[in-house]
A and B are shown apart, each in its own frame.
Chain A
């Protein structure tokens, strides 16, 4: 069974940093692109970042470029999102998701809440 378990969320002050983790199990982690998608409370889904299975390709939405870094450890089946220079508008639930070949996200983690507030 595919499982994705996110962790690392919490309350952080504007300008601060936080690292999210996503532990994967039940599939060959290194063979899949992984995605981060966020959702501000009461709002819609927003794609944040994607990283290819061998981390040769990484992509970011414009609003986080230069502030967020996606990475993965295929030996440990872990996906990361290092977030720095956080802003109030980064407040959201952050979901990790497994990317399918066709570009869909076919399995999702439970979401972790990041709150940026003074």
Chain B
């Protein structure tokens, strides 16, 4: 089965840029989606189809996908961005989620 690998944690100072990676074999051939989940809340879609943003998501959130790594980039990080982030793809008739990355804003 397909596996998505994320770093457990990423830390960044306010105003800096956070990059969260999602590794998978030939992931560039798949559409990657990213979710933000704050404690006690349902996940929220922040990037879909590698690099598109749903309405209402700030343009500080962006995505890319190349070869074996997809990346969620959060520019000008704010304290309110602190959350868990998950990548997801559809593969062989099943959804696959990465293990999640906890973003800490220092």
Contact = CB atoms under 8 A, between A and B. Distances in A.
B26 to A, nearest CB: 16
A44 B42 contact: no
Mostly, the A contact residues are strand
Contacts of A91: none
A61 interface: yes
Interface residues of A, number: 21
Nearest to B84: A44
Interface in A9-55: 35, 37, 44-47, 50
Interface in B13-70: 31, 33, 35, 37, 42-45, 48-49, 54
Nearest to B44: A108
Interface of A: 35, 37, 44-47, 50, 59, 61, 95, 100, 102-111
Given A45-B86, A95-B43, 15 more contacts: A37-B95, A37-B97, A44-B98, A45-B43, A47-B97, A59-B93, A61-B94, A100-B48, A102-B48, A103-B31, A103-B90, A104-B33, A104-B45, A105-B33, A110-B42
21 contacts: A35-B95, A37-B43, A44-B97, A44-B100, A45-B35, A45-B37, A45-B86, A45-B88, A47-B94, A59-B93, A100-B48, A102-B31, A102-B48, A102-B49, A103-B33, A103-B88, A103-B90, A104-B48, A105-B88, A106-B48, A106-B54
